[in-house]
Amino acid sequence: MIRALVVDDHTIFRSGLKRLLLDESDIRVTGEARCGSEALEALRLEPFDVVVLDINLEGRSGLDVLATIRREHPGAPVLMLSMYPEEQYALVAMRAGASGYVAKDAEPAELIAALRAVARGGTYLSMRIAPLIQDQLKGLDERPPHQRLSVREHQIMLMLLKGVPPADIGEEMMISTKTVSAHRTHILEKLGVSSTAELVLYAVRNGIIQ
């Protein structure tokens, strides 16, 4: 039996996934978490075969939670799930240590296949995105600027977009406020914007936030 921990801040989504998996004889949601702290506490208390982790969580982003999971539970398979298109975050998630990535609008059969593959120690990317990821890894990268940010820059960008102050970002990521400011400067330069307000406009135009 595959024991899944579902980490998503939407109760309706967690309930829907549980109902979906009731039809599968080999997968069960045995743990739920609304945020990163609840997910980490659950992982410390009981074993899971796969963690289904949303990128866009309240508070700490899923990428930040993934980094902590990798430190505390290096062997835990993590399937990243997001409303964002695969081409936007799949490579970032895989580089950060995810075992797979599935968009929330994927067909149920694809999500179930991804869960099984990741829980068994494999990796999962859809047939559509896998060739693009391989091209990106080879340096054939035609993605827009925000998709070329490093994992840490992505994490900080998401926090900035949520209005988290630099001091709080530094505390959350265990880096100095000065380092956060340096990352912010690099992010703005890479995206061709000059302020956080322009960053928000960029994010809206590119579907990073709604």
Condensed to tens digits (0 to 9), the pLDDT of residues 87-126 reads 777 878 888 899 999 988 889 999 999 999 999 999 998 8
Domain 145-205 coded CATH 3.30.930.10: no
Rounded CA-CA distance 137/159 in Å is: 26
* Confidence (pTM): 0.73
With both helix axes pointing from N to C terminus, report the angle between 196-205 and 151-161 in degrees, rounded to the nearest 10. 100
DSSP-assigned letter for residue 139: T
Cα torsion through 191, 208, 109, 29, rounded to 10: 110
* No. of helices (H) and no. of strands (E), the chain: 10, 5
Q: Which fold has domain 2-137?
A: Rossmann fold (3.40.50)
Q: Are 147 and 92 in contact (CB under 8 A)?
A: yes
- pLDDT tens digits, residue range 45-75? 999 999 999 988 877 788 889 989 999 999 9
The structural domains of the chain, with segments of one domain joined by +, span: 2-137, 145-205
DSSP-assigned letter for residue 100: E
